[in-house]
Amino acid sequence: MANNTGYKNYTQQKAILSAIIYVFMIVFVLIAIVPVWLMLINATRNNAEINAGISLIPSVHTIDNWHILTGRGFKLASGFKNSLIISFGVTFLSVYFSALVAYGIHVYRFRGRKILWNLIMILIMLPASLSFIGFVQFMSKIHLMNSYIPLVIPSIASAATVLFMKQYMDSVLSFELIEASRIDGAGEFLIFNQIILPVLKPALATQAIFAFVGSWNNFMTPFVLLSSTEKYTLPMLVQMLRGDIYRTEYGAIYVGIAVSLIPIIIFYAFMSRYIISGLTMGSVKE
């Protein structure tokens, strides 16, 4: 009898705990989804409806907002092209070279290895805004203002990505795999590109998502460095819609923001499958 009572108490406690977990999950989902839903709803409303308050029901002014958006010099194709060039460049350089640096620190034992790793840790703790003014001044002195080079090339040195890749390698990468490849006559770059990178797919996909989203949504750095409207990124073009001194069309702005989210959603959907498939992939067969 006592065993039955204890089992019932355990079952009730487990059910209560599961209910609490589900409640928290629902709350977190709502926190994530509601702002996006409100943005999509506002993209269908005009100024008067938006100023009237929050609504969860779509309106009928989407086409009107789109005409306002395209009729005010919003160069959608140019913004997409510029943002894609920068974002893909940043993503590739950041992920590939950070993985290469992490691989070198993880595999090789060279003089100054610990000093280099400590330097990376220090760089992670420094806020990015601390060096922003000096970075802009340096780009001005070497005549790289109004260019994509200072927006893309510095992403090679991503300390946070190096840290993530190094920690991931510590948990999944087998030295036996590397030694076996060397015995078979493979060179170091061949080992890294054809053997190590497939093992790192989940980590690479995760960091690629972070790098792409961060670069796509980056507004301040392009705003300071770029002066030609032909080179403006999509977030910069959306921000320009607020510059009308006579009237701000909030519905058109929300349409522009919604359009700018499409590449992020597509990129995440494409890269997330590598995270899922890579989790079950082993580097060495027993």
Give pLDDT tens digits for 112-161. 888 888 888 888 888 877 888 888 999 999 999 999 999 999 888 888 89
pLDDT over 70 at 281, yes or no: no
pLDDT over 70 at 282, yes or no: no
pLDDT over 70 at 36, yes or no: yes
Beta-carbon contacts of 70 under 8 Å, excluding residues fewer than 6 positions away, are 76
- Provide the residue type at 138 as one letter: F
Give the whole-number percent of the chain exceeding pLDDT 90.
22
Mean pLDDT of 43-62: 86
Joined tokens for residue 160: 């946070």
Give the whole-number percent of the chain exceeding pLDDT 70.
90
- Looking at residue 241, the DSSP 8-state letter turns out to be G
Three-class SS state of 191:
helix
Joined tokens for residue 271: 């890269």
pLDDT over 70 at 276, yes or no: no
- Give yes or no for a contact between 72 and 244, defined as CB atoms under 8 angstroms apart: yes
pTM of the model: 0.82
What residue has token string 């059910």? 15
Span 216-231, pLDDT tens digits: 988 889 999 998 888 9
